[in-house]
Structure formats: structure tokens, C-alpha cells
Amino acid sequence: MNSRREFLKAAAIGTGSFGMNPIASELTSAYADATTNATSIPHRFIFVRKSNGIRPNELALPSFSEKEKASDRRKEVLEVDLENHDLPSWLSVLNPHKGNLGILQGLSCKMSENGHYSYSSVMGAFKSGRNSLSGIKRATIDFELARLNPSPFGHVELSLTGNYSNFRTGIVPGYSAPAAHQRNYCYADPETAYNELFKSILDPKSIDSENQMLNFLEQEESFKASQLAGYERLKLSNHVASLDSIKQRNLDVASFADLIREHLPNLDPVHADGGVNASTPEKQKAMTEILIAALATGLTNVVTYTIDELSTPIRGLPGNESDRISIHELGHNGGYSGVSAEDIREKIRIGHLEQIEHIANRLKKIPEGEGSMFDHTMIFYFPENGETHHSHGTEAPFVVLAGDACPVNIAGRYLRLPYHGTEGHQTLGNWYTTLLNAHGNPIDHYGDLDLEMSRKKLAQTGSIPQLLS
């Protein structure tokens, strides 16, 4: 069984119900239906969230003409062909993929959380109330796209976050949401992600042990739910359903474990016991390998990766190896060991883009259909909190890599849309509506509306026409 299509069909046979969670069951059913079509190739989506904003001028092309520079500074509508321009130095690692690269400027995200953190809101285009369950209004965009491109895991969330000094480890609350008032779980360190995603190959007996742990957690949550009523009980019941779905999913994945050996990543021993001695670049590289393997094996078609947040400790950064760098301090122009905050911020971005380039390069080498896995893949690199450290949400730049078979017309373009509060302006909700419309969901509009745009009676629903033409 050599082809990926044969693997996916075989995998579907071993995939049963995810249990009580209705969204998981829906994904499983759709996955089985999709894989019965031998010509079906899923679309894939990788969301890479970064903290501290992306300032729009950091994406301005150094080879702009004087007229183009002036228009870009004034935030006027602008479009140029990337093929005729140089990329900013920190983006230059993507030069081999320039034909697939798009830079999207001018989107706003004022309907989501701004300032230091966005929590779930940047993925769902709503105010999340600092990630309270009551503030989670809807399934986030990554889960909506996972519905359209089902897989055994449905969706995988990874994060490298911490408490400024140390990284989180284990399975922790995530930032994506499968539905209103539900928070996703995420894998917070490479060892946990490796074990949880691929443990059926490493040690099939460990699944029985883990199910005992999940049974314990489910009993605990069920007891708490029995003591509560109304909305609070509903929140805990959602957790119980999620735990049940995890148990069933692990059993399902075990049924086709032999098929995913080919793409198993090699995890360095430095990541043992939560990787307390691993540097930030080492953790990022390990998570990237796990992300690639999860996609290449067909376990998922959608990955959300919080590559850092303000409280993520940065240690082992090239040129600042001995420093423990606070991203929050960088946002307030604090440098380290004689290196300016500006230079360190750029080094951090370069490290992020090196991981994205590695993902694209690897996926381009995995055959699928008449091309490669990358042909049907979109990678998004974007600020979780908007245009700067203390953002206002007037701009939310996106760097996009889009495969040749992607139905969104972004590749090869630097596109600046009309500025916030002006005719023709597009919001984060318009961008996500575009992705959904292009991939099979004809929704009129995804996400909340912008209050200022509403006060000015400016149109703000629907997809972005320039990207679907």
C-alpha cells in the first residue's frame, strides 16, 4: 500500500465514531464519506500564530518605487507582483517559494481582542472576554475548515507558550474552539505531542493506560457537573464529551498504526520529560516535525500552531544564546546583551519563517496525485493581536503560502486593501468568509461585524472579491 490515497481509504475503514461530541462524530462521518471518492484530495491549512504584532512597515517591499512607498505609507490601495520585487530581509528565506507567497495588508481585526492577547478571538472574529467559555461565540475558523476537510483527528493544536520563565507542558487549554462555549485542548511540548499523536505506534498498550486516566478525568468532570446547573453544567458536560471522544479516537488510530510509520519524526532526547533543557529554537524545530508528520500521515488536515505568545520564554536565540528573553519586554523596546529590541524581534521572526519554509519544502517533496501535498495546502503566518505590541486592531497583516491547487487568488501578490473605516475596507471576518466560500461553505458572512464600519453604514459582509477572481 504505497499511495497516500490508498492509505487514506484504509484509514477510513478503521475510523469509527468519536463518541459523544457531535462535532467529532460529524467530522468522522464526513471523513469516511470523503475517502470513498478515490479522486478526492483534501485541502490543508496550517495557522501559525505569533505574538507582539506584525507592524505593517515590516512587510513593505524594499524594492517599491517611490510612488509605491508613498502609497503604502499612506495605507492606500496597492497591488504589485511579488515576482518583480525583493522581499524584506526577514522574509527572504521564502524566496524559493515566492510564486506561492502572498502578502495581505489592510485587514482589520477590531471585532476580536486587541492589546496583548487575542486568545480564541482572532480565530473566531469575536470578543472572547479573555478566553472565557461564555465569550467563545462560535467554532473558530480552523475547526470550520476541518469540517470541510475531515480527518481522524479532525484538528490538531500545538503551542509553545509559558509563564515567561518556563514553557507549559502536557495537554493544556488551547485557543481554538470546536463550538460555542467550548475550548480546544492543545499539546504544549514536543514530547507530549509526539506521544499523543503517535503513541499507538510507539506503545499500543499505553492507550489502555491513558484511557484509564481519561476515565478518571471524566468521572471528576461528571461529578462536578452533577453539582451544578444550567450554563455552568453545560460547560462541564462539553468537557466530558471531549474526553470521551479522545478515548475513542485513540482506539481508532491504533487500528491503522502500521500505516503511519513512514513519516514518524525523530524526537531528540533533549525533549524528554517536557524538554526543560531544550532551547526555544529546538522546541520550534521539533514541533515543526510533528506538524509535518501529522499532515503527511493523514491524521489531520488542519493544524493550529501558536509558535509564541508574550509569555513564551525565548532562550537559545542565535546571537543571544545566554539570554532569557521576554517577548513582552521586547514590545517595550528592551534589548538584551547589547542587541536592540528591533534586531531581536527580527531574529525571532526569521526563526519563525525558517520553520514555515521547512514545512513548505517538505510538503513539496511528498507526492500526491499529479503533484505534491503542498499543492492543496495553505499556510498562514499572522499576528494573534494585530499590528503592534499594544494593538488597536486597525490592521492585521497576513503572510500566506498557497499551493497551486488552492482556490484563493493570493499567490504572487502584495495586496493592500482599503484602510479601516473607508469604503471597500475588509475585516478579518471577510478574510475568513473568503476562505470558507472558496473551500465549499457558501456562508454569507463569518464572524462579528465591526462597530465603526456599522456606524458609518459601510458594507462589511461577504468574501473579498479580489481573492476569488
Q: How far apart are CA 65 and CA 70, in angstroms?
A: 9
Most confident option among 202-206, 214-218, 237-241: 202-206
* Weakest mean pLDDT among 108-122, 182-196, 251-265: 251-265
pLDDT digits (tens, 9 = 90+) for 302-312: 999 999 999 99
Burial class from Cβ neighbours inside 10 Å (0-12, 13-18, 19+) for residue 51 reads buried
What is the average per-residue pLDDT within 187-211? 77
Please check the confidence at residue 10 and state whether its pLDDT lies above 80.
no
pLDDT score recorded for residue 245: 66
More confidently predicted of 252 and 460: 460
Categorize the per-residue pLDDT at 251 as very low, low, confident or very high, splitting at 50, 70 and 90.
low
Task: Please state the φ and ψ torsions of residue 348, each to the nearest 5 degrees.
Answer: -65, -45
305: enclosing H helix or E strand: strand 302-306
Q: CA dihedral defined by 437, 440, 445, 448, rounded to 10 degrees? A: -110
pLDDT score recorded for residue 131: 79
Categorize the per-residue pLDDT at 469 as very low, low, confident or very high, splitting at 50, 70 and 90.
confident
Task: Please state the φ and ψ torsions of residue 367, each to the nearest 5 degrees.
Answer: -65, 145
Q: Is 437 helix (H, G, I), strand (E, B) or coil?
A: helix
Please check the confidence at residue 273 and state whether its pLDDT lies above 80.
yes
Q: How far apart are CA 12 and CA 283, in angstroms?
A: 32
Q: Is 262 helix (H, G, I), strand (E, B) or coil?
A: helix
Q: Is 308 helix (H, G, I), strand (E, B) or coil?
A: coil
Please check the confidence at residue 280 and state whether its pLDDT lies above 80.
yes
Q: Is 341 helix (H, G, I), strand (E, B) or coil?
A: helix
CATH match for 41-188+261-467 among 3.40.1350, 1.10.3470, 2.60.40, 3.40.720 = 3.40.720
pLDDT score recorded for residue 247: 65
Q: How far apart are CA 62 and CA 86, in angstroms?
A: 6
* Weakest mean pLDDT among 94-103, 122-131, 249-258: 249-258
Please check the confidence at residue 56 and state whether its pLDDT lies above 60.
yes
* Weakest mean pLDDT among 18-32, 80-94, 216-230: 18-32
What is the average per-residue pLDDT within 321-337? 96
Task: Please state the φ and ψ torsions of residue 384, each to the nearest 5 degrees.
Answer: -70, -15
CA 461, 144, 119, 77 dihedral sign is negative
Q: How far apart are CA 115 and CA 134, in angstroms?
A: 20
Instruction: Collect contacts of 13-16 with beta carbons under 8 A, ≥24 apart.
Output: 13/256, 14/252, 14/253, 14/255, 14/256, 15/152, 15/252, 15/255, 16/248, 16/251, 16/252
Can you give the pTM of this predicted structure?
Answer: 0.88
What is the average per-residue pLDDT within 303-331? 96
Q: CA dihedral defined by 12, 17, 21, 24, rounded to 10 degrees? A: 10
pLDDT score recorded for residue 24: 42
Give the ranges where 88-204 is alpha helix by DSSP (H).
Answer: 121-124, 141-148, 190-202
pLDDT score recorded for residue 234: 46
pLDDT score recorded for residue 346: 98
Q: Is 146 helix (H, G, I), strand (E, B) or coil?
A: helix
Which runs of E-coded beta strand occur in 127-203?
156-159, 171-173, 185-187
**Tally of CB atoms within 10 A around 266:** 8
- Average pLDDT of the chain, as a whole number: 86
CA angle 86/103/130 to nearest 5° reads 135
pLDDT digits (tens, 9 = 90+) for 76-98: 999 999 999 999 999 999 999 99
* Weakest mean pLDDT among 233-237, 384-388, 447-451: 233-237
pLDDT score recorded for residue 165: 92
Q: How far apart are CA 392 and CA 115, in angstroms?
A: 6
pLDDT score recorded for residue 262: 84
